[in-house]
Structures are given as structure tokens and as C-alpha cells.
Amino acid sequence: MILKYKKTMKTITERRIFVILFLLLIFSSSYSQTGTKLRPIILLDLSVRNSEGSVESINSLEYMAKLAGIPYIITSDVSVAVQYNMIITSSIIKHSSFTTVERTNLINYVDSGGILITPSLSEPSLYSLFGVSSGDSTSKLRYSMKWNWQSGDYSMRWINDYFERTISLGDSIIYPGGTIKTRSYITTTGSTMAIYGDNTIAAVKNNYGQGSTYLLGLKFEDVIIRNQMSWDYEAQRNYSNNFEPSSDVFSLFIKAIYAHITPYASWKHTCPWDYRYEMIMSHDIDCIQSMDTMHFFADYEYQNHIKATYLITTHYFEDDLDIDYYSGNESKILYVYNNGHEIGSHSVGHFPDFDKMDVFPEGAPGNTQSNYHPYYSADDGQTIDGTVFGECEVSKNLLEAITGTNVSGFRAGFLAYNEKQPGILDTLGFSYNSSFTANDVLTNFPYLEFKATTTSLGLTKIREIPISFDVDYDLDSLSPTNYISRANRWLQVIQKISDNYAPVIFLLHPVYCYKLLLEEYLYQHLPPGSINMSMIEFSNYWKARDDFYFSSVILNDSVLQITVPDTLYNISDNLSLIINDGQLLSNIIVKNQSGMALTYHQSNWENNDLCIYFYPNTTNINESNKTNNLEFINNYPNPFKLSTAFEFFLSENSHIKISIFDESFREIACPVDKDEMAGIHRFVYIPDQLKSGVYFYSLTTSKGKYSGKMVFIK
């Protein structure tokens, strides 16, 4: 599908105006004191100058700057831009982009030490500035871009994996007629930074006077927005469970240049406090088996202080797809919630054709369980009477009635993404969507979604959180005998993701014993530096990060002052900043705009960098949500050969039941099922005709339920 640009949006929003005024106020004094250019980067908006009729280019560039965490200002005024250290144009520089005077000012800007980056160039008068002799060779038949990585090249600081050094632009087999339009160059004084798959030059760096230019050969919107909306030309190299950073590379590239040219450059970290990456476990509950067995996973996570997200399908009817597995199971959902986990929506019907807009039209609000009756018909081979509003609204309301709290998250059944859903989720008060895989959208980071099939209606407040690992994507080859080897391969991918300080989101259907063992193995062997978060915790963190702005000033050669606005400082208690070469500073001063000094904590970061954060990290799970009243004492011995004992405490008289389950979570024994008095109890279990292996037990009382794992060895 070809990306259609149909909108005319305001180039500068109220938030952008606030940020510009704040940064100009803070930096105006530092400019006169130091005599150097200002520290934020300039995003030079050329959309009006180039008569683009849309702002996809500047939106894409702004997203890249936000992801990099760098302070930035958007302007279309060249006279403002040349006061800053680094300028990135939003789109191609062509003859109509600048006046003759402005082109001269840009040349003088670079000559005196400025950095100028542009995604494309066709203006001959600026060829010498960028070190090329031609920029007219365009093609749609280039399917990859390979960076010319060299040790010591500062712009390649975070571009160090094969899948970062070679990025995908499209699939030549599926699209033999071409993909995105790219531009190649012939160099003169410039050095080649990247080549396309056809060996033509894709990126050029040129040292000019005291400054440098960087020239690419593509549109930012083609490697950012197009990918985010899954309108790329099947550029992903895998659908899931692998490392795919093709979009992220451009933010890493920009941040690396900024870090090199800005003394003690500072940027917003992508993780809370001084963690390296977020580990987010999510479960899709979309069948009767997962409804019956999810408590085993919830208990394991509760016992290990893991707050997971359970996305529930509220299938309250019987059709040709499945039975009614929602009605009567509300208590099981409440049990998971009461153990501190997040409950989200996985739609009403988990329909495989939810992505088809002719089958699932937008519909209208006002849907309830009593008036919304979708039905999947095997005879018709599709869903009847379904709407996007119905799927999102009814499931949200049903789950909120169970938990008594706002349900903020949504994931489409079968990950069948309907292009109307972001706008509808926004209308219904959701906070995030998680219906794409990270590989499919070519980014490991979250982003705000557009409202509909085109970008003309603008951005929503819905943050897409791409799924890093869909365990069932490998279901045909995943088994009880190979899950460890598969987990070890995934752990290597997690290491790559964590090297970019990106989140890791797992989708795991809790229906098999070995999947619980897989989850346990993953948590036991994770790369260091992870923080456990639920989806909504992560979504709220990322929103706080997007809303947080700061500035920095070098007061002398070794003192850095960081300033935050009075109105934005207390927006979150887990935001942090990375300071390039911060360990070499003699002092760091953090204050608000009113001049009040703020307390911060710090820890050493990679190389000589420093991480500073404003509040101590006390916990990564909300202890107040833990409402399991059963005080379990022990299951010992475990592993066991002859017998094992269950010891537990009852706070009041209760009926108790101990059940034993096999690897498919089928109940195979019930050694205890009776009333007991309050107090400490001990029951010995002697297995009868069990084979050696892993088993699970469940202890149920009037107060709650406790599940665990035990190993029998003959």
C-alpha cells in the first residue's frame, strides 16, 4: 500500500510553543555567557517551503528526536536555526527550500562549526557543501541500506549489530516492482557512510570548514510513520521473536552525533531510574483453557514480585469459533487482579477477521452485553454483526465492572489490527494499544498512533506498545523438550534489545505447563538491568517521559547545570537523564526554572557517562495491590522422591482443597478436600503411579488460592 498524504495540520502545537519559549528563555543567557551556539537541536521544518501540504516529515523527525531524548526546537526560520549547534531538516533540500541568502547563511553556518543533516538533496548550489556532485539518481528498486561501519566512527556509536548496520527498506520478492523512493549520490569531498543493496551511495558525510554535513537518501516518513502504520513494503525481516531495529537506527544515529558534538550532552533515558530495559510480561486469555489455568502463572508472578498484564477476551456467547468461556469465570479474573496484576481488554470475540474493515465497520458507541451480539459463522467464513466500537467498548465495560478500576489497555484478537481501532480506543478512554509486533513495525519502542487509515485526522493519545516476542509464533516448533533452547535464543535477542535500552514485551498464552517453565527460565536468565513493569505502568512512564522537558548549560569547563520547568518537574518519580562523559564533571546542578535546587541521585553509566534520577528506586511492584490473604508456608521436600508435605496457615475456619495437575494442567489428584479450623496445617502427599517430571499444585481456601510447582523424581 502506498502511503497517502492527505492532511494539513498545524506545524507547531501549543506544547511545541511552550517548549520553544522555555528553551529560548533558558538558553538565551548561556549564549551570551559562553559565546558558543545553543545546545538543543533544531528541527528545521521545510514542509511549507516545499509545498508538501502535510506534516508527516516534521512529525517523523520530531518522533526521532523525542525517542533520542534530546532537547529540540522546531522552527522554519533559518536565522533562528543557525544559532544552534545542530540542524536537521525535515525533508529534502531543493531549490525552492531556501532563498539565496538562506543558502549562503547555511554554508557559513557549517563553515563556522555547525552540523547540518538532511534526508535528501537535489539543490546543485549546495552539492559542494555536502561533498557530492550529483543527487538526481532516484529509484524504487533499492531494498536495503548498509552502513559503512568503522571502529571509532562516533556516529556509529550505537549502530553495532548486524541488523542495525544493514537495515531493510522492503521485500524484493513480494514487491519486485519497487518500494520506497530513494536517492543516491556521487561523492566528491564527502565520504561514503552507507550504500544501498545495489551498491550506490545512500549516505554521505562531508567535513566543511570547521563543521560537517550529513546527507541521506530517503524520506524520514518512509522509515518512521510508514513503518509504524504497517504500510511499509513488508520490510520486516521476521514477523516476531527476532531483533528488528530498522526504524530505531535513525534515532540512534542522530543521538550519537549530538552526543559527540555537544560537551556533556544530556538526554532523557528510555528506562526508569538507572535500569537498562523494561521486562513486560503479558498474557492473552482467549480460550477456556487459559481462563482455567491463568492462576498458575499469576501465582508464580505474584510470588516473584512480577506484575504482569492479563488481556481478557470476554467471549460471553457460543459461536462457530468457541464456547462461552467468560460467563461464570468473573471470579477467576478478579483473582488475577487481586494478586496485583493488570487487567486489559483482548476484545469481545477474538475474531480472526477483525482487521477487515468491510466485516468490522467502525460502528457507534452505546454497546452493551445485552445489545451487542457478534457471531462467527463457519458457513459464511466470517464474523456477522461485529463492530470495532462493540469489541472495544463492551469488553472494557465488562472488565471494569469486575475490577472496579479503569481498563486502559487493548490488544486485538489474533493481532488482527483494524485501522479504525486507535481512534475508537481514544474515544473510549484507553491509554495504550498492543496489537503489532515490534518486528512488523520495525521498532522496539512505543509511539502514538494516528486516528485512522490516513494521517489526516491527526494523532491520538493511544500509545502503541509493540510486542517483542509472541511465543505462539513459534508454537509449531516449540515443545516441552526444546523450550529451553528456544528461550536461550530469545535471551540473545533480549540482550540486543537491551543494548538499545528498549522495552521487551512478551506475549505468552498461559495454556501449557512448559510455558510456565519457559517464563520461569526466562526470568532466571535475563540479562542484567531489567525492571519489571505492567503494560499500563510502562505506558504511563512513557507518557511522562514524552511530557518532560529540560535544558542544560555548561557554567564553566566542568560544571553542568540542568534546568526543568516548575510545572513539569513532579510529573513522574522515575524519570532519569543520561549525561555524556558525566563522570568527568566536577559538579552537576539541577534546579527548576524558579532557581530552587533539586535533589538527585546518580550512578555510573556506559564508558564515562552518568545517569541521574530524582527519586530513589524503592520497588517495582505496587505492594498495595497484593490482596492474597493466604499465608502459605512451605512445600517440602521439593524435588521429592517418596512424598512431599504441604504446610500452610489459615486465618479462619475454611474449606480447603489441594489439587495436583499434570503438564497440561489437568487435575490428576485431589489429596485434600475438606473443612479445616484456623491455624497451621500440614498434609503429606504420597504420589500414586506418577511418572518422574514437573507437576503443579493448587491450594484453595475461602480466602484465596495459591499455586506452585513441584518436581517428582523416581
Please tell me the pTM assigned to this model. 0.88
Q: Do 171 and 319 fall within a single domain?
A: no
Average pLDDT over residues 468-474: 89
Banded pLDDT at 651 (limits 50, 70, 90): confident
Helix, strand or coil, per DSSP, at residue 48: coil
CATH number for 667: 2.60.40.1930
Q: What is the mean pLDDT of residues 158-182?
A: 97
DSSP-assigned letters across all residues of 353-405: TTT-TTTS----S---TTT---EEETTTTEEES--HHHHHHHHHHHHHHHHSS
Instruction: Please give the pLDDT value at position 646.
Output: 87
Question: Residue 541: enclosing H or E segment and its boundaries?
Answer: helix 535-547
Mean pLDDT of the chain: 90
Cell numbers describing residue 88: 536537521
Indicate the number of domains in the chain: 3
pLDDT value of residue 557: 84
Shared-domain flag, residues 205 and 67 = yes
DSSP 677: -
pLDDT for 3: 35
209 and 313 assigned to the same domain: no
Q: What is the CB neighbour count within 10 angstroms for residue 682?
A: 11
Query: Is pLDDT of 212 > 70?
Result: yes
Backbone dihedral angles phi then psi of residue 300, each to the nearest 5 degrees: -60, -45
CA distance 44 to 92: 11
Q: Which of 213, 230, 262 is the last residue of a domain?
A: 262
Residue 310 near residue 294 (C-beta atoms within 8 A): yes
Question: Do the domain assignments include residue 145?
Answer: yes
Distance separating alpha carbons of residues 183 and 663, to the nearest angstrom: 56
pLDDT in tens, 408-449: 999 999 999 999 999 999 999 999 999 999 999 999 999 999
341 found inside a domain: yes
pLDDT digits (tens, 9 = 90+) for 533-554: 999 999 999 999 999 989 999 9
By CB neighbour count within 10 A (0-12 exposed, 13-18 middle, 19+ buried), where does 444 fall?
A: buried
Of 31-35, 303-307, 517-521, 695-699, the one with minimum mean pLDDT is 31-35
Given this model, what pLDDT does residue 19 score? 53
- Is the residue at 167 inside a domain? yes
As a whole number, mean pLDDT of residues 76-83 equals: 97
Q: Which of 262, 285, 317 is the last residue of a domain?
A: 262
Determine, yes or no, domain membership for 102.
Answer: yes
How far the first Cα of the chain sits from its last, in Å, is 60
Same-domain status, 186 and 294 = no
Q: Which domain holds residue 94?
A: 14-262
Residues 6+ away with beta carbon under 8 Å from 673 = 656, 657, 658
Given a cut of 70, whether residue 177 has pLDDT beyond it is yes
Asked whether the bond before 639 is cis by omega within 30 degrees of 0, the reply is yes
CATH number reported for the structural domain that contains residue 324 in this entry: 3.20.20.370
Same domain, 193 and 56: yes
- Residue 608 belongs to some domain of the structure: no
* Beta-bridge partners for 435: none
Q: Is the pLDDT of residue 252 over 90?
A: yes
Instruction: Look at residue 546 and tell me if it is in a domain.
Output: no
- Weakest-pLDDT range from 6-20, 56-70, 74-88: 6-20
Q: Is 582 helix (H, G, I), strand (E, B) or coil?
A: helix
Instruction: For residues 194 and 202, give the distance between their C-alpha atoms in angstroms, rounded to a whole number.
Output: 5
Establish if 558 belongs to a structural domain: no
Query: Average of pLDDT values for 599-622?
Result: 76
Q: What is the pLDDT of residue 642?
A: 86
Looking at 512, 541, 570, the residue that finishes a domain is: 541
